[in-house]
Amino acid sequence: MFIDEATIRVFAGDGGNGCVAFRREKFVPRGGPSGGDGGRGGSVYLESSENLNTLLKFRYNPEFRAERGGHGEGSDCHGRDGEDLVITVPVGTVALDPATREMLWDFSAAGQRFLAARGGHGGRGNARFATSTHQAPRTAEPGQPGEKRELLLELKLLADVGLVGFPNVGKSSLISRLSAARPRIADYPFTTLEPCLGVVALDEERSFVMADIPGLIAGAHEGRGLGDRFLKHLERTRVLLHLIDVAEHSGRDPVEDYATIMKELVNFSPTVAAKPMLMVASRVDAVGDSHRLFTLREFCRAEGLELHEISSVTGEGLEELKRALWKKLAETPKIPAADERIPATFRNPTL
């Protein structure tokens, strides 16, 4: 099951209490105060891992608690520090404040660690309060409570190319031909219920990642269909591949299809709509009456859009499309590093 959003609650460990104790030993007539300090509470960290690809585990276990610090004891024995808790999340996860939706951290690479909740400091024992004028203090500090926080986790797939278009225009068929991905393919709307990633290889040294996004329909940004839930996965892509079905049985106007999809992208995020895009006339093997294909050609020529005509069934145009995508990716700057996208006030000082 693909889960790309979850709300979790993290609780750092409380600090241990300081101890009030006095040394009482034979031959030590003036032992004095000997209460030890409490241990530090464990902190909670989020760490990105390449071994996960969904937030499913957070649906059934939304609370995480780190170990509290041990209490101080006599004979100047300090309490043990609590163990830190490290929660692994998939690469591509974004940690947000649920109330304000401010970005707290963006896990764009494996091994990144974010301090989600800091453990409380341990209290000082009475040995810490002894002075030359107050040699028998009976005061100790309680441990400080650990931080607690609610976090909204969103998973956004990391891909170089994102496929967009109406349902059943051939997106899943295309990614299955270009990569080893095997999405479900069937002749009914919304066959693709979750995003699918595939690695497209040009040769042994050149490859890129392609993402198949569930089909969009008019009103997707308002919650119609499945598109509004998965449009966020396009935010990390560098290039969009817009597929339009020109087959005779489609019965839709290709220019209207293009305008509808672009309207949904603009309403969702103008930044996403402004990404570099290649147009693809899909299913040219079943074009029949060439009017739809001719209309799309003329429209792309007038708008200055690069059009590629392909057939996932016969393989026509697929190699040319791969080379064109690689060229477009080479011309497109990479997405900024994580710390460049996060407001300075939220950057983790421990990294």
**Identity of the residue numbered 207:** S
CATH number assigned to the domain with residue range 5-155, chosen from the 4 options 2.70.210.12, 2.120.10.10, 3.30.420.40, 3.40.50.720: 2.70.210.12
Alpha carbons 306 and 281: distance in angstroms, whole number: 11
Per-residue pLDDT of the chain (351 residues; tens, 9 = 90+): 567 789 999 999 999 999 999 987 777 777 789 999 999 999 999 999 988 878 888 988 899 999 999 999 988 899 999 999 999 998 889 999 999 989 999 998 889 999 999 999 999 999 999 988 888 899 999 999 999 999 999 888 778 898 888 888 888 888 888 888 776 665 655 555 667 888 888 887 788 888 888 777 776 555 555 556 677 788 888 899 999 988 877 677 889 989 988 988 888 888 888 999 999 998 888 887 678 889 999 999 999 999 999 988 888 999 999 999 999 999 888 765 444 444 444 445 443
Alpha carbons 162 and 37: distance in angstroms, whole number: 56
* Range(s) within the chain of domains with CATH label 3.40.50.300: 161-331
Pure H helices in 134-279: 171-178, 227-230, 254-268, 270-273
Looking at the DSSP assignment, which residues form a beta bridge with residue 201? Answer: 207
Domain 161-331 has CATH 3.90.650.10: no
Alpha carbons 12 and 46: distance in angstroms, whole number: 12
Alpha carbons 326 and 208: distance in angstroms, whole number: 8
* Range(s) within the chain of domains with CATH label 2.70.210.12: 5-155
Q: What is the pTM of this model?
A: 0.72
